Structure 1
Amino acid sequence: MTQTQHKPLTKTPTLPPHFLKQPAVPLESFQTPVLECFVERSKCLQYDQLLNVLVGSEDGLFLNVYTPALTGNDSCGLLPVMVYIHGGGFLSGSGDAFLYDPVHFMEQRVVIVTFNYRLGPLGFLSLPEAGIEGNAGLKDQLIVLQWIRNNIGQFGGDPENVTLFGESAGAKAAYLHYLSPVSRKYFHRVICQSGVACSDLAFQVEPSEKARKLAKCVGYEGSSDQEALDLLLKTPAKELFKHQLATLTDSERHEELQFPFRPVIERPHPGAIVLQHPLDALQTELDPPIPLITGCNSGEGMIALTKAQHHLAEYNAHPERLLPPMLRLPANANELGKKVKQFYFQTRPITSDMLPELLDVLSDNEYVMATVTAAELVAKFQPKVKHYCYYFTHDGRWGNLKRLLNMYHLPGVCHGDDVFYMFSSALNATLPGDADEVWVRQAFVRMWSNFAHRGDPTPDDGDLAEGLVRWEPIEPCAGKSYFKLRCLQIDRSLKMVANPFLKRSTFWRELFRTYGYGSRKLPE
């Protein structure tokens, strides 16, 4: 494997004013004729959620290229390119090899690109009234895709065969690019793991008001958006990150997971990426039809549960807390919460013995129903798209987040733990895998790489001989009232399953159609 680590992507901004104001500008040339890129550099400025400290730098826009063979040294021609967008709630994370070493992908003859993008207020603050349109982090990602189009051939990659994939917030970002006419010309397939941007949960709540709150946190007392922005630009970036949680709305403060700065739907302007709500965009046939993989893990809500398990009495007293944020709360929210409580817990109180059931609620609220809803919309309105869905249930020893959260007593695969079955990670260094772990990793990497090569995760009979099964795409259902969710269940053995969440998804679908799916109504 040849790796070019942390190649500078953009011009370093002049400080101050800091990167909040300035759009990223691609580098035209390096300061030296030969630039050595073998050491990882700074990640983008962020609040480290594990260490509880600020880390990184405003000069953090770098990318990494991993290739099994440079151009001219390979008889097989240019190789498929896989571009990974890291997760972290749009407020933390990086493309570093600490978590995302793609060594196993090199065996499958693909080129891997990982990268950093601006996070938190520097990446997603939006104040259109003062000229800050938002989505700077998404626009950093677009610059990566444009750089790949122009340069990846020098690293043995094929710019005409690019797969965009990501997990969690990275998956939501990939989905937004999938729907954007500005972005989608730069890639040819998409994989979204534990995240699709089809509900209001993908978007920032009251973005302009958040920007104004942030200005007040650093001393602004007036009412002019331009003056507020001027003060934000003069404030050290680290101070902005220290105050970002203070911008949360009252409703967000009651959520188990809190991500203040997220993408926004932009008003029309040059460079805009997200101009439509995803539910609206999905109901117009996209051209060209780009093959798609989406899916989720069996215990997605486990991170939220670490906080929720300490508030069981509140869930019993106020069952409306069981309602998902994307459900517009009606006047009878308490009665509706009782209906949800009855569905998941019957007549029993929510106690520590009922944590598996509460895990299902939290998983459905944030991840499962978004995955199912998006899959149904694609099946109904994008009939030409080959759409593959998966359900990851292998609860193995490489579940590092589950281990760090001390949730081993619960069944299910924690949100984010699928990543450790694709990438080599420092967290796996002390956990040598048994035969099951290695097989699941090989299956994951093989199917993802097959998809990058040919747009089909199981295209060859040779794959079936190695224990894979034919992964069938979801059948289009345009003009039909019945939607069948066809999933590949990924475990120590693989199998196709139909409607794995049928009872739960039917329950929620009826509520969403009655009360609304956030700011939108679900189509019949």
Structure 2
Amino acid sequence: MKSGKIAKAPLILSVTQAEGLYPGAEFLSDPTYLHQIDSRWNELLPSILDYKTALTDPKKRDRLSETIRNHYFKPDERLTLENFNVLIQIISNRLYFAGVTETAKLIHPYTNLYLYYDLYKAVYGVGEALSHHDEPGLLGVAHGDDVLLIFPSVLRDEIPYTEEEMKVVDTFVAMYESFAKGDKPRFGSYELPLQDADEEVVFLSLNYPQSEIVRAEGMSDEMFWNTLDFNDGPYAATAEQMHTEL
């Protein structure tokens, strides 16, 4: 990406407000999961955040896990349902925000790139399906929830879309349809801004009925995550390190 060896095609990147609900929402599906993560933090977090394979030294993994915990939790704070959103913020930053932000900054010199941050909360989505919880206000906008407003999904077979949701569906579909035909992307009356800087991102904070354009260093806490060394770059994996996700 730094060298510009990419397809020179216009691109829309997006994140949702609570990306980490995929897979984090599943941790609400069993009452014991949060306690297990809390009490076995250094053991489990590397797998949740996908750095167990890259960091082979257990001491380095532990130090990294403790650094993350100390940044987000007070010394005596336990992980519970009440602060579950903090765990989702952690997962969102590591698995989604940091990479998307870096990508936007790296490739904007070579192609027209647009970015939106989805804040629109549908009645039912990925988070509710994984957690088996649908209490109002408990979960945010999960990874893929915007896609569920663009393409039909079996997740909504038993839960009809509301009138407001259908308006958002129409707006999303119109945006992507016109973009595919070569137009600048617009969500309703809001034009997605063109990424134009190396050190900050400019994006549409997308909601309904009101959205706004934001310019900032990042969309969440990416600056902290950029200081951490996950050994994510290309490296020669041993046979023991190689793994396959099903």
1:44-77 CA-partner distances (Å, limit 9, x unpaired) = xxxxxxxxxxxxxxxxxxxxxxxxxxxxxxxxxx
What pairs up with 1:284-433 in 2 under 5 angstroms? 284-286=3-5, 289-309=8-28, 310-320=32-42, 321-323=44-46, 324-326=49-51, 328-329=54-55, 330=57, 331-347=59-75, 348-379=77-108, 383-397=109-123, 399-405=124-130, 406-409=132-135, 410-433=138-161
Q: Per the alignment, in what secondary structure is the counterpart of residue 332 of structure 1?
A: helix
Identity %: 22
State the alpha-carbon separation in 2 of the partners of residues 356 and 509 from structure 1: 21
The TM-score, its normalising length taken from structure 1, stands at 0.39
Q: CA RMSD in A?
A: 2.6
d(CA) in 2 for partners of 1:500 and 1:457? 22
Deviation at 1:496, TM superposition (A): 1.3
- Counterpart in 2 of 1:172? none
Q: Which amino acid aligns with 1:447?
A: M
Cα drift, residue 333 of structure 1: 2.2
Deviations 1:290-333 (Å, cap 9, x if unpaired)?
11111121222223224434433343344333343247435332
* CA positional deviation for 1:417: 2.1
Alpha-carbon distance in structure 2 between the residues aligned to 1:287 and 1:517 = 20
Name the amino acid aligned to 1:336: L
2:238 aligned residue? none
Superposition map of 1:124-163 within 5 A: none
Structure 1 residue 506 displacement after superposition: 0.3
Write the distance in 2 (CA, Å) between the matches of 1:446 and 1:500: 29
CA drift at 1:507? 0.4
* Cα distance in 2, alignment partners of residues 500 and 434 from structure 1: 35
Match of 2:83, SS state, is helix
Pick closer, same or farther for the CA change 1:355–1:444 going to 2, 3 Å: same
Q: Tell me the distance in 2 between the aligned counterparts of 1:407 and 1:498.
A: 34
5 Å-filtered alignment, 1:81-480, equals 282-286=1-5, 289-309=8-28, 310-320=32-42, 321-323=44-46, 324-326=49-51, 328-329=54-55, 330=57, 331-347=59-75, 348-379=77-108, 383-397=109-123, 399-405=124-130, 406-409=132-135, 410-458=138-186, 467-477=188-198
Once the two structures are TM-superposed, the CA of residue 366 in structure 1 deviates from its matched residue by 2.0
Report matched runs for 1:24-103 at 5 Å: none
- Cα offset, 1:517, TM superposition: 2.4
* 1:98-135 CA distance string (max 9 Å, x none): xxxxxxxxxxxxxxxxxxxxxxxxxxxxxxxxxxxxxx
The number of equivalent residue pairs is: 221
Aligned equivalents of 2:127 and 2:61: distance in 1?
32
Structure 2's unaligned 5+ residue stretches are 236-246
Amino acid across the alignment from 1:335: R
Post-superposition shift, 1:449?
1.1
Q: Give the AA of the match of 1:353.
A: E
Which of these two proteins has the greater Rg computed from alpha carbons? 1
**Uncovered stretches (5+) of structure 1, i.e. residues with no partner:** 1-281, 478-482
- Counterpart of 1:517? 232
Aligned partner of residue 404 in structure 1, secondary structure: helix
CA distance in 2: counterparts of 1:384 and 1:332, whole angstroms: 37
The answer to whether structure 1 residue 486 and structure 2 residue 202 are counterparts is yes
TM-score normalized by structure 2? 0.77
State the distance in 2 between where 1:394 and 1:286 align: 34
Question: Structure 2: how far apart are the matches of 1:423 and 1:486?
Answer: 26
Where relative contact order (Cα < 8 A, 6+ residues apart) is larger, the structure is 2
